[in-house]
Amino acid sequence: MKKYINSVIATVMFYASSTYAALPTAVTSTNADKGDYIAMGRELSKSGIELVAQLIGAGILIAVAAAGIKSFWDVRKGKAEWTDLTGVVVGGLAVAAFGLVLLTQAEKIL
């Protein structure tokens, strides 16, 4: 009975349906239809700059997390004190907040 239930569950899990396979439509530039290729290039470069800004923001957050983990590791080894960890975390969060605010303002300029 258990094998039968497992086979039914496996069959249901791997059941494929075409209704779930629909992909979203691609976003097209409105300026390309008008023949304004300079404006289309401007739109594409704006999207690229926004992507780079988001990647930089993710890098900032990863760097702050890595610094906090390294500081915690040093505390656990006895090379640093808990106040050092607190300073790294508070300073890292302040730098991350300032950096993310600057990136958000830079995206608004575009």
The pLDDT, as a whole number, for residue 81 is: 94
pTM for the structure as a whole: 0.65
Residue 101: is its pLDDT beyond 70?
yes
Residue 97 belongs to what domain range? Answer: 1-109
The H-or-E segment that residue 79 falls in is: none
Residue with more model confidence, 16 or 110:
110
Residue 19: is its pLDDT beyond 70?
no
Place of tokens 């999207």: 47
Per-residue 3-state assignment (H helix, E strand, C coil) for the chain = CHHHHHHHHHHHHCCCCHHHHCCCCCCCCHHHHHCCHHHHHHHHHHHHHHHHHHHHHHHHHHHHHHHHHHHHHHHHHCCCCHHHHHHHHHHHHHHHHHHHHHHHHHHHHC
Q: Are 29 and 43 in contact (CB under 8 A)?
A: yes
pLDDT one-digit tens code per residue, 26-67: 777 776 677 778 888 888 888 888 999 999 999 999 999 999
Average pLDDT over residues 82-99: 95
Q: Are 86 and 94 in contact (CB under 8 A)?
A: no
Number of domains in the chain: 1
